[in-house]
């Protein structure tokens, strides 16, 4: 009998496994020092050291409609904004702390503007919420793994009340789930060591989440982290195991399955350069062709890609990010059919690229020209028709004399008059749509 948690997870994530491509947005006070979102921890900043950024934060260039239009142009179907990161700064008008955007020069609720803008573009909306908080007085300081005061015995934990912190944390999540209408994703981050699972009162938290927004999908980091996925990989996941796994800065070698060999929903969250939050000196941008192939790789393994942008101190997405996303959008405009609603094909990975599949429609993603015909292993007699996805032009099966010895395979030439496949119509990824014959 199927585990109840798995059955409910399958239903909740149905849209998610259709969407395949989302935008992650890391933005907060850390954009002002512009050395990454962990700057307060890595540089051991005290609250007093960090406070000047709070007093400067004006969001003068924050135009979430432009963000949303860019996401839509890139072909993204959902988005996740950091409502609160580890520094404890809140982009919404929380009633539980004064450390929030309405009390900065920005002077307003920035989460509401984000939600309105992305909903207007038909993009599903999610919020990232840090379950750790370096600002809160009751969160462990000294000897915590990441806290800015982890090495300072003057910030001991003798008088800190973690239960009081949990009431605060649960209360903030309740605010987000009750004040902003229907959300699609809550992206919690993150557990580590013994700070995991019931340490967060995770069962009670998930009961609240399910009672307020039962459709909502949740990541696996109430229990897991980037290092450990938790019981979502078992046949009997806990009630707070999450609805999808979220490997960070990598794509799993074989996709993700549980102990029973069943596929588990997942998304790879990956940055466009080497930081999540804005880092002015980081110019290690992944080229658009690499990102396109990352997306295809994820889908070919039944996964999603959540691609990050880090707006600057004013709230502007960096020009390099914009250029990459616009190039992605041009490819997706022609080839999105090989991404949305697609997943792993029941075929070995080809030597020339990747496969994705939706029903009886197989998509061959050609990365490299081939000497001779492109080989579709063991598909002889199974193909009804082939088209170049970008323009719909017909591709004929090849019956050239030198292929006669390999009759169990199907072949095609992209340039049949010259019997070659060079150059590829799209050197990054030429997609051939293959309609397979339905089984009788």
pLDDT digits (tens, 9 = 90+) for 192-218: 999 999 999 999 999 999 999 999 999
Q: Is residue 277 part of a domain?
A: yes
Do residues 214 and 295 share a domain?
Answer: yes
Do residues 413 and 309 share a domain?
Answer: no
Q: What is the dihedral of CA 174, 180, 184, 186, to 10 degrees?
A: -40
Is 90 exceeded by the pLDDT of residue 417? no
CATH code: domain of residue 365: 2.60.40.1180
Q: Is residue 347 part of a domain?
A: no
Cα–Cα distance between 68 and 5 in angstroms, integer? Answer: 33
Encode pLDDT of 18-28 as tens digits. 999 999 999 99
Cα–Cα distance between 72 and 215 in angstroms, integer? Answer: 23
Helix (H) or strand (E) holding 306: strand 304-309
Q: pLDDT-based confidence at 420, cuts 50/70/90? A: confident
CB 244 within 8 A of CB 209: no
Cα–Cα distance between 252 and 260 in angstroms, integer? Answer: 18
What is the total residue count of the chain?
Answer: 440
- Peptide bond just before 190 cis, omega within 30 deg: yes
Q: Is residue 344 part of a domain?
A: no
Q: pLDDT-based confidence at 439, cuts 50/70/90? A: confident
Mean pLDDT, the chain, integer: 97
DSSP SS3 for 147: coil
Encode pLDDT of 41-59 as tens digits. 999 999 999 999 999 999 9
Radius of gyration for the chain, computed over Cα atoms and rounded to the nearest angstrom: 24
Please state the pTM of the whole predicted model: 0.98
Do residues 386 and 275 share a domain?
Answer: no
Cα–Cα distance between 408 and 300 in angstroms, integer? Answer: 24
* Chosen domain end from 338, 362, 393: 338
Mean pLDDT of the 314-338 span:
98
Q: How many other C-beta atoms are found inside a 10 Å radius of the C-beta of residue 241?
A: 26
Encode pLDDT of 165-182 as tens digits. 999 999 999 999 999 999
Is 90 exceeded by the pLDDT of residue 399? no
The strand order across the sheet containing 383-388 reads 353-358, 361-366, 430-436, 383-388
Cα–Cα distance between 39 and 332 in angstroms, integer? Answer: 35
Is 70 exceeded by the pLDDT of residue 1? no
Helix (H) or strand (E) holding 202: helix 202-212
Do residues 304 and 404 share a domain?
Answer: no
Cα–Cα distance between 298 and 175 in angstroms, integer? Answer: 33
Do residues 55 and 88 share a domain?
Answer: yes
Instruction: Give the list of residues 6+ apart from residue 267 with CB closer than 8 angstroms, or none.
Output: 16, 22, 244, 245, 246, 298, 303, 304, 305, 306
Q: Is residue 346 part of a domain?
A: no
Helical H segments across 273-367, by residue range: 288-300, 319-335
Q: What is the dihedral of CA 253, 254, 260, 262, to 10 degrees?
A: 130
Q: Is residue 110 part of a domain?
A: yes
* Chosen domain end from 315, 338, 361: 338
Is 70 exceeded by the pLDDT of residue 132? yes
Q: pLDDT-based confidence at 235, cuts 50/70/90? A: very high
Do residues 325 and 394 share a domain?
Answer: no
How far does CA 169 lie from the centroid of its chain?
Answer: 24
Both tokens of residue 289? Answer: 């062709």
DSSP SS3 for 399: coil
Q: pLDDT-based confidence at 373, cuts 50/70/90? A: very high
Do residues 296 and 394 share a domain?
Answer: no
CATH code: domain of residue 180: 3.20.20.80
Domain that holds residue 58: 4-338
Both tokens of residue 243? Answer: 């609805």
Cα–Cα distance between 33 and 282 in angstroms, integer? Answer: 13
Do residues 232 and 124 share a domain?
Answer: yes
Do residues 191 and 299 share a domain?
Answer: yes
Strand ranges inside 327-408, DSSP E: 353-358, 361-366, 374-376, 383-388
On the CB side of 89, how many CA atoms lie within 13 Å of its CA?
A: 25
Helices and strands (DSSP H and E) totals, the chain: 10, 13
Q: pLDDT-based confidence at 37, cuts 50/70/90? A: very high
Q: Is residue 210 part of a domain?
A: yes
Query: Residue for token digits 């949303």?
Result: 68
Number of domains in the chain: 2
CB 302 within 8 A of CB 344: yes
Q: Is residue 343 part of a domain?
A: no
Nearest to 4 by CA among 209, 241, 237: 237
Nearest to 11 by CA among 210, 243, 183, 241: 243
Q: Is residue 164 part of a domain?
A: yes
* Chosen domain end from 289, 306, 338: 338
What percentage of the chain has pLDDT greater than the value 90?
94
The DSSP secondary structure of 52-96, one letter per residue, reads HHHHH---TT--HHHHHHHHHHHT--EEEEEEE-TT--BSS--SS
Do residues 55 and 191 share a domain?
Answer: yes
Do residues 124 and 164 share a domain?
Answer: yes
DSSP SS3 for 338: helix
Do residues 270 and 132 share a domain?
Answer: yes
- Peptide bond just before 423 cis, omega within 30 deg: yes
């Amino acid at each position: 009998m199927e585990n109840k948690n798995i059955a409910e997870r399958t239903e909740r994530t149905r849209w998610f496994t259709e969407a395949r491509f989302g935008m992650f947005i890391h933005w907060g006070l850390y954009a002002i020092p512009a050395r990454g979102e962990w700057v307060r921890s890595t540089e051991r900043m005290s609250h007093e050291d960090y406070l000047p950024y709070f007093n400067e934060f004006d969001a003068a260039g924050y135009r979430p409609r432009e963000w949303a239009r860019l996401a839509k142009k890139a072909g993204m179907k959902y988005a996740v904004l950091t409502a609160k990161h580890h520094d404890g700064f809140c982009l919404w008008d929380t009633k539980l702390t004064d450390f929030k955007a309405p009390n900065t020069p920005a002077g307003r609720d920035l989460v509401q503007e984000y939600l309105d803008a992305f909903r207007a573009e038909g993009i599903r909306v999610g919020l990232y919420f840090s379950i750790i908080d370096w600002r809160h007085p009751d969160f462990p300081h000294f000897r915590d793994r990441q806290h800015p005061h982890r090495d300072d015995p003057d910030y001991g934990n003798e008088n800190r009340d973690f239960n009081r912190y949990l009431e605060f944390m649960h209360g903030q999540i309740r605010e987000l789930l009750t004040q902003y209408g229907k959300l699609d994703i809550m992206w919690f981050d993150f557990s580590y060591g013994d700070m995991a699972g019931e340490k967060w009162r995770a069962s009670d938290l998930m009961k609240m989440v399910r009672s307020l927004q039962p459709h909502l999908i949740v990541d696996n980091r109430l229990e897991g982290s980037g290092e450990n996925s938790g019981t979502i990989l078992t046949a009997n996941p806990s009630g707070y195991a999450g609805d999808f796994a979220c490997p960070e800065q990598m794509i799993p070698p074989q996709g993700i399955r549980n102990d029973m060999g069943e596929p588990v929903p997942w998304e790879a969250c990956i940055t466009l350069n080497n930081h999540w939050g804005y880092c002015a000196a980081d110019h290690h941008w992944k080229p658009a062709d690499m990102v396109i192939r990352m997306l295809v790789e994820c889908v070919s393994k039944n996964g999603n890609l959540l691609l990050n942008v880090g707006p600057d101190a004013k709230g502007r997405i960096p020009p390099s990010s914009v250029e990459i996303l616009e190039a992605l959008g041009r490819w997706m405009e022609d080839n999105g059919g090989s991404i949305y609603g697609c997943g792993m094909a029941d075929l070995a990975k080809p030597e020339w690229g990747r496969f994705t599949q939706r029903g009886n429609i197989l998509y061959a993603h050609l990365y490299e020209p081939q000497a001779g015909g492109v080989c579709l292993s063991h598909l002889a007699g199974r193909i009804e028709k082939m088209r170049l996805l970008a323009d719909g032009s017909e591709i004929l099966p090849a019956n050239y004399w030198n292929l006669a010895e390999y009759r169990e395979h199907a072949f095609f030439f992209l340039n049949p008059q010259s019997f070659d496949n060079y150059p590829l119509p799209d050197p990054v990824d030429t997609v051939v749509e293959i309609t397979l014959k339905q089984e009788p």
